[in-house]
Amino acid sequence: MLNFKKLCNYFVNIENTSSRIEIQSQLCSLFKEVDENTIDKLIYVLDGKVDPGYINSTFNFGEKTFIHILCDIFEKNDTEIRNLVTQFGDLGLVYEFLKKGQDGEGVLFSEVYNSLKKITQISGKSSMENKSNIVKEMLLKFTPLEGKFYIRMILGKLRLGFSNKTILDALSCVISKDRSSKKNIESAYAKCSDLGKVAQIAIFHFKDLENLGIVPGIPIFSKLVERSSSFDDALNRYGHVFAQPKLDGMRCQIHITPSKEIYLFSRNLENITDMFPDLVDNLKKMQLNGGVILDSEIVGFNPSNNKLLTFQETIKRKRKYEVSFFQQDIPIKVFVFDVMFYNSKSLIDVPLKERLDILYKMFSSCSNDKTNISVIENYLFDNPEVLYEYFESMIEKGLEGLVLKSPDSIYTPGVRNFDWMKLKRGYLKGVVDTIDVVILGYYAGGGFRAKFGVGAILVGVYNKEKDRFESICKVGSGFKNEDLPILKLKMDEFMVLDKPYNYYVNESLSPDVWVKPEIVITVRSDEITKSPIHTAGASSDKLGFALRFPRIISYRNDKSAFDTTNVSEIERLYKIEHGMI
């Protein structure tokens, strides 16, 4: 049985190291001490949750309530606690300071987890009082160290600084003492998206991992798309390609369970079912058979002229509040482009041409009139000139371009390869595409922006091979003044005192405030250049990449930091831009 104090000591060791290898080693040792009934719960807690990420369970417990509890426990007034919060900057540290020298009862992790789980399940009248009673009861039992981390868990500020990638490496080390098992574990995780369950099977029943399949109701990682530089590029690879319009929308995975329950998931595996009641109602009208998983794109449209809206407009529908208002204000169309599960059978290993046949037959046999749900336009091409004409017709319609797909491609969850390629007008002209980056920190700035507290932001991209974020530019253009206070509040929510261990940033670029890799934005620049300062793709014998004259285009609430444009894509874009491919 795992003792909570021992777990907290692991947290301290992880906090005090900047070495990814050492963090992996600490996690490996921790996982070896945990039994089969505990490992899944531990994984969820390490991710700041009590359930798999696709389950919307939240603590809904604010700092103000914690202040009231600490006042009660330590017989302090509100001002005294708030002054300590200002001094320490962390309610967990405030508890540790006030409880210093006092012993705890010795609590098991299972008791801690059960209390956290109960907090997420309480709702309705007197819910805040009931949650507070649970928290207070636990805090009275804890040692100073235990209480510090318990408070951080509930506030979403555990701040351990490692990603699920590091957890996957650690799990592999538990099984094979190296990373040789990681591919099997990653593949299972991509199909199941429940890392706790994957860890449980991987450590205790490794041979069963390959039997872990996809199930309606549990999201799988989306198949990703590479960039193509020409029509010949795709046709030379495959001879024939399916071409589908490239829409500027929001990725949506549609699940219908055998019992006809409907779930919607974003590309970030977030459950967005309650955000799109109109889509749920229309799916019910279609009377599709149960046991289905579809991949689709949601795009807002203007009902007066039927024109599709931009991503920035569509993403306004992704919200927890005022759902009904925005449902009326921004109606949506849904374009289905793939089927991964049908008739109680996984189709991810079935060639695309067969999956599309199934998809068309499925829609032809159901009622989808007036539902605004349809199969996306899809044509097979083998002639580059004809393909180009089709491409031009999409541009004339105001679309971004095309997605070109190999007819024999299988659906590989979470994998980006040249089975699917996107082609935009900019690629043909050597113009840099928009790039998704993650905010690493911000600079206070001066001049007219001094009043906002943000002059510019430091952004980076993900290096998948090295599992780290590398800087690519500072962005100071494209902001609306009215957005800056909101952006600063958002960045301050993820503020950290020190540079995260998995940030590779030149010391000369150190921002005034470091930020956890949580906020993704889209930027456009004039070109990609080589840089002696920025670290994206840099090595001891190679300069890094940087963006020249970058400006912010939009915020990508539907993407995680690991979905940003990665270093290998930046290198490919650089070669496309400079006519090297």
Active site residues: 246
Q: Treating both helix axes as pointing N-terminal to C-terminal, what angle do 182-192 and 195-204 enclose, rounded to 10 degrees?
A: 140
98: how many CB neighbours lie within 10 A of its CB?
19
Cα separation, 168 vs 174, whole angstroms: 10
Question: Could you give the count of Cα atoms lying within 13 Å of 560 in the half-sphere of its Cβ?
Answer: 12
Do strands 468-475 and 503-504 pair parallel, antiparallel, or not at all (unpaired)?
parallel
CB 458 within 8 A of CB 441: yes
DSSP for residue 103: -
Measured distance CA(174)–CA(208) in Å, rounded: 16
| Helix or strand holding residue 527 (H, E) | strand 527-531
- How many residues make up the chain in this entry? 581
Other beta carbons within 10 Å of 325 = 10
Largest distance between two CA atoms of the chain? 79
Where does residue 198 rank: exposed (0-12), middle (13-18), buried (19+ CB within 10 A)? Answer: buried
User: In Å, how far from its chain's centre is CA 439?
Assistant: 14
Residue among 189, 170, 254 nearest 414 (CA): 189
Q: Helices (DSSP H) in 293-379: which residue ranges?
A: 311-314, 323-329, 352-364
Three-state helix/strand/coil letters over 223-262: CEEEECCCHHHHHHHHCCEEEEEECCCEEEEEEECCCCCE
Is residue 16 within 8 A of residue 10, CB to CB? The reply is no
Q: For residues 134 and 550, give the distance between their C-alpha atoms in angstroms, rounded to a whole number.
A: 49
SS3 sequence, 502-513?
CEECCHHHCCCE
SS3 content of the chain, % helix, strand, coil (to 5): 40, 20, 35
Contact 217, 292 (CB under 8 A): no
Q: What angle do CA 206, 218, 437 make, to 5 degrees?
A: 95
Q: Encoding tokens for residue 182? A: 């990681």
Beta pairing partners, 530 = 545
